[in-house]
Amino acid sequence: MKGSREKLKLRAGLVEHPWGTMKRTLDQGYFLLRGTEKVEVEMRLNGLIYNLKRALRIVGVPKLIEALA
């Protein structure tokens, strides 16, 4: 990323949207657990919830159930 401000700005913008959405919709301003391993699990669960909510909105419940079957 050295010397490429445009790439850095693009990357920051791509990362900030999901993080901001998770903080706002899942009320995750702070981590509830302490310790690296516990925080990692909490973050992975938040990511899973975020992705499932997106899939439900994009594909819809019937198609998602069909794909999982």
Give the pLDDT confidence of 20-69 residue by residue, as tens digits: 777 777 777 778 889 999 989 988 888 888 888 888 889 898 988 888 88
| Contact indicator for 16, 34 with CB cutoff of 8 Å | no
**pLDDT confidence of residue 55:** 85
**pLDDT confidence of residue 21:** 75
Whether this model's pTM surpasses 0.95: no
**pLDDT confidence of residue 37:** 93
- Within 1-69, strands assigned E span none
**pLDDT confidence of residue 26:** 74
Tokens of 2: 């050295």
**pLDDT confidence of residue 36:** 92
Q: Cα separations (Å) of 2 from 10, 15, 21, 35, 64? A: 14, 18, 28, 32, 41
Closest listed residue to residue 34, CA positions, set 42, 45, 44, 23? 42
> At residue 29, what is the residue type?
G
